[in-house]
Amino acid sequence: MEPGYVPRGGDLTAEVKGRRENQIWYLKISKLALAFAIIRSKPPGKSCKEYTEHLAKLVSQQDFDWKSKVKTLEAEIFRLRQELLLNKICQRVCLENGKPGASTETLLDEEHVNPMSYSSQLQDSGCDVSNDYAFESLGIASDFQELEHTVDTSKRCLEIVPPLNLCYASKEESLTVPVQFFKHLLEIRKLSEGGMLQADFTELENDSFTICNSVSQLLDGLTVFYNSPKFPVSSSLTEAVCVLIRLVTDTKLSNHVLKKCFRKLEEFMKNLIQIILRNSDINRFQALDAVSHTLVLLGRNNILRNSLMSFLLSELQQFAEQMLQAYQIQEMYDITQYENIFSLFMILEQLLHKETEESNTSDSGYDGEEKIKFLKNLDQIILHVSDEFPLFSLYLWRVSVLLNSAQIQID
């Protein structure tokens, strides 16, 4: 082809058509060759169909084995990336900070987690549940107790990142890797806070892939559990919730995590809200209470709280409009969702109380678009549905009072 030659449209069409015809011809020849090969190699006593199905099964099994090996290698690579990130955070610290630090006892949390207490709360019929869960106290003191046996600061630096466990057999055990990773990260954070180490957490910004994937694994594992909870709750799941809450409420780590994983955390909260609304099990109230309490704990982070309040107000507004429509045209409504909606009311009330408490020491407060939409026609909705749905109207009124009082407090 000469330089500067520009092929005409007809030439291009003919060239593409020729390539397609060649591909079709090669495919037909390949199929024919494969058929001849199967016929010639067919063992005696087997039909061509049986032998073909046997070969297809062998190929499928090999393909499955390769996929399994690839997944295992990918998981191993990701585990190594987690260990590398933890070592980057504290490796330089080990070289620079050789002086003895505070004693191990001063680094232990004042609060302690009691998984047995949490499990015992969830063994009843679900008719009488309490918010006093074990992960209300967010410490993970047991993890720091291992450091009591460390002789000097150099050994602490070497042992602070033990090998992460990769092997797991169930969906519940799949939480092991992200939980261990974040536990080690929180250990480094606690030691740096106590003055023993001077960790460089800016490394979290340089490896967003590892931190985002770790958060995703943790949130996905918890979502699987909340979708089909099994009681009593195992200690590993309790530990996973503790680590998640500690991660998003830590003043230093939460900034790095929210920068990279804010959308994923928002998606997680939306999923939990939908799990509450969709749950139709007869004995579902202990499960709803567990999900509700996790959402309240996530609301301890100011940024997540604003998003969570927006999601809750949006759902409550939509449901209030549905109830108004059901009242006006006298149609049936979802009684299960009506019962579940009160869990959202209780979550929102606790978040608004928290917002009001913090507004006493700060000028910040929630004043989002969803709040304006929610309050816009609320009085009319309450007026119309109060006779038919008195309890629902009462909760609507309580939320409106809290929203208005929070605004007055801020003003």
Average pLDDT in the chain: 76
Residue holding tokens 């969570």? Answer: 308
Confidence of residue 365 (pLDDT cuts 50, 70, 90): low
Confidence of residue 328 (pLDDT cuts 50, 70, 90): confident
Q: Across residues 320-326, what is the average pLDDT?
A: 89
Least confident of 92-106, 138-152, 337-351: 138-152
Q: Quick one: which of 192, 254, 244, 247 has its CA closest to 219?
A: 244
Q: Quick one: which of 400, 291, 270, 280 has its CA closest to 343?
A: 291
Q: Which long-range contacts (CB under 8 A, 24 or more apart) does 72-75 make?
A: 75/166, 75/177
Q: Across residues 79-96, what is the average pLDDT?
A: 76
Residue 105 has pLDDT above 70, yes or no: no
Least confident of 42-56, 107-121, 232-246, 281-295: 107-121
The reported pLDDT for the residue numbered 407 is 60
Which of the pair, 8 or 42, is modelled with greater confidence? 42
Query: Helix, strand, coil proportions of the chain in percent (round to 5)?
Result: 75, 0, 25
Q: Across residues 279-300, what is the average pLDDT?
A: 92
11 vs 289: CA distance, rounded Å:
69
The reported pLDDT for the residue numbered 380 is 87
Which residues fall within 8 angstroms of residue 397, CB to CB, at 6 or more apart? Answer: 382
Q: How far is CA 272 from CA 49, 215, 278, 289, 296, in A?
A: 50, 16, 10, 11, 11
The reported pLDDT for the residue numbered 170 is 54
Confidence of residue 126 (pLDDT cuts 50, 70, 90): very low
Which of the pair, 14 or 268, is modelled with greater confidence? 268
Confidence of residue 138 (pLDDT cuts 50, 70, 90): very low
Q: Quick one: which of 260, 358, 271, 252 has its CA closest to 306?
A: 358
Q: Across residues 133-145, what is the average pLDDT?
A: 40
Residue 323 has pLDDT above 60, yes or no: yes
115 vs 71: CA distance, rounded Å:
32
